[in-house]
Chains A and B, each alone.
Chain A
Amino acid sequence: MKKIIVKGKAKGVILKSKNPINFLGSVDKKSGVIHNEKYDIFNKSIKDSIFVFPHGVGSSVGAYTIFSLKSNNTAPAAMICQKADLTVASGCALANIPMIIVSNDEFDSIEDGKEIQIDTESENILN
């Protein structure tokens, strides 16, 4: 664990992507389904997941997309990235979605499909 960007608790199943994510234009806000066919998680839903991806890229308006997902109850329960970027950090801050940054080794060891708990106030943040 390198850093907590947005505090909080969450539980869910890990959805892991190898692609940096441009939230604007890549996810259906009503369903949470990824519709950018260039992404390895094309057609999968990020709703209620622990969404793990390297970092956000592209449009600064992606922050509003994250906020909209939360308002529509289609947001991930938490986000875990390798690198912090302002779009994802600020989107999660406004939407109250816990967000943490992990080391490269930790990122590599996170397994897709596994259920985990996050608690930024606890000693073991990932369980």
Chain B
Amino acid sequence: MELTKEEQAALNGEMGESLKTAYRILVATGEATNAEKLVPIQWAHLSGVNYNTIGDSGEEFLSILSKDAKVKVKTTLNPMGFDIDNVSKYNLDQNFIEKQQSIRDSYIRMGVDPTFSCTPYEIYDLPEKNTQVSFAESNAAIYANSLGNLKTNKESAFSALASALTGKSPYSDLRKENTESSTTIRMKLENPNEMDFGLLGFFAGKVADTSVSISGVAKPDKRSCKSLCAGMGTSGTCAKFDFVGEEDNDSEKVDFGKEEMNNIFDELNTTESGDIITLGSPQLGLDELSDLSSMLKGRAFTKSCMIFCPRAIQNQARKLGYTNEIEKAGGEILSDCCTCLTPLINKDETDAVTTNSVKAAYYLKNSTGVDVNLKSLSKIVEEDTK
């Protein structure tokens, strides 16, 4: 990768330690993506916020970095471990709370917008078509490339941070004009719900390389689109999909039918019933809260239900009254955190979780260590409310 004189000087440490670190990361990721140069980006979205995932070494790294580092572009960030408004109701140790607050303070010192959301596309209007961004959260990167007409790599926590500090990212193939995907998945399921789209995404992530075409679906609703993005981001390296007609290119065709869906379902669903329900991963948007509010009218959850959405969305939903029916039904609305890797769910207190999120299912089983009962939102409302 070719660097400008200024970039080379920063890599050599002439502009301070934090920029040296940032350019070292960009050089490695530039090599990894076969980029010939760095290009400017307009918006970075960071992962690596939850103390549960980045630990003491991550907390220390950010604390030192934030002494002199400042972001150069608009920068949003992922959920942290808890919602400060509700944390006292949970049995969370003081060390976790302090370390999490230190991480939050480090990001704020660097000039990051404290959104604590895995769905930045729910909070802000997206910039104009083909704008270069650097999104680390995998569902957000796939959403940006596939549905938002933006350009991003499926960034890592460090590559997005390096982009935020320099305002640049490697000019990889994903950032150039659209190229044809080498794989087309033929969706064979009829009337798929949002969970089926999540399973399709998880399957697609496994079989596809960097991008994939999907045939056999009319453009699904936003809930299903988010579920597809999140499933895809969990299982593989695929950063982009597009919906296509059946036989419009020479790509390899792979069917996703009942059998393929059942195989993925059996991999992720480990039990028949959950002790609690979680909705959100990705965090819910305003339209999803509005839908949920209508679905729950006159009903009550028969077990506790955690509902995750961005802080900005919760505030809007409260003004519009969408939260009334949800809370009346016993749903607990949480912001700044999400199902995946929040210590508010832990195996000492919970054996199994019911969710419609394929991404949540993967992390609940593999990281939190609890069993998972996967079912669609309509089935959750049908079976777990009365």
The reply to whether B31 and A5 contact each other, CB–CB distance below 8 Å, is yes
The reply to whether B28 and A68 contact each other, CB–CB distance below 8 Å, is no
Distance in angstroms between the alpha carbons of A5 and B82 in the assembled complex: 36
Q: From the candidates A6, A71, A84, A90, name the one contacting B57 in the complex (CB within 8 A).
A: A71
B157 within 8 A of A: yes
A20 within 8 A of B: yes
Distance in angstroms between the alpha carbons of A118 and B12 in the assembled complex: 24
8 Å CB contacts to A: which residues of B1-51? 21, 24-25, 27-29, 31-33, 47-48, 50
The reply to whether B156 and A91 contact each other, CB–CB distance below 8 Å, is yes
Q: For the complex formed, measure the closest distance between the CB of B241 and the CB atoms of chain A, giving whole angstroms.
A: 16
The reply to whether A67 and B58 contact each other, CB–CB distance below 8 Å, is yes
B160 within 8 A of A: yes
The reply to whether A63 and B236 contact each other, CB–CB distance below 8 Å, is no
The reply to whether B158 and A63 contact each other, CB–CB distance below 8 Å, is yes
Distance in angstroms between the alpha carbons of A68 and B57 in the assembled complex: 6
Contacts of A4 in B (CB 8 A): 31
Q: From the candidates B31, B160, B341, B367, name the one contacting A89 in the complex (CB within 8 A).
A: B31
Distance in angstroms between the alpha carbons of A36 and B362 in the assembled complex: 11
Given known pairs A24-B53, A25-B363, the reply for A63 and B156 (CB within 8 Å) is yes
B55 within 8 A of A: yes
A41 within 8 A of B: no
8 Å CB contacts to B: which residues of A71-99? 71-72, 83-87, 89-94, 99
Distance in angstroms between the alpha carbons of A86 and B173 in the assembled complex: 13
A interface: dominant SS: mixed
The reply to whether A26 and B366 contact each other, CB–CB distance below 8 Å, is yes
Contacts of B48 in A (CB 8 A): 60-61, 63-64
14 pairs of residues in contact across A and B, judged by CB atoms under 8 Å = A6-B28, A22-B366, A57-B236, A58-B234, A59-B47, A60-B160, A61-B47, A71-B60, A84-B31, A90-B158, A90-B162, A92-B28, A93-B24, A93-B25
Given A89-B29, A89-B159, 18 further pairs, Cβ under 8 A: A4-B31, A22-B366, A25-B363, A36-B366, A58-B234, A59-B138, A60-B136, A61-B50, A63-B158, A64-B54, A67-B57, A83-B237, A84-B32, A86-B29, A89-B31, A90-B28, A92-B28, A93-B27
Task: Mark B residues whose CB is within 8 Å of A.
Answer: 21, 24-25, 27-29, 31-33, 47-48, 50, 53-58, 60-61, 136-138, 153-160, 162, 205, 233-237, 341, 362-363, 366-367
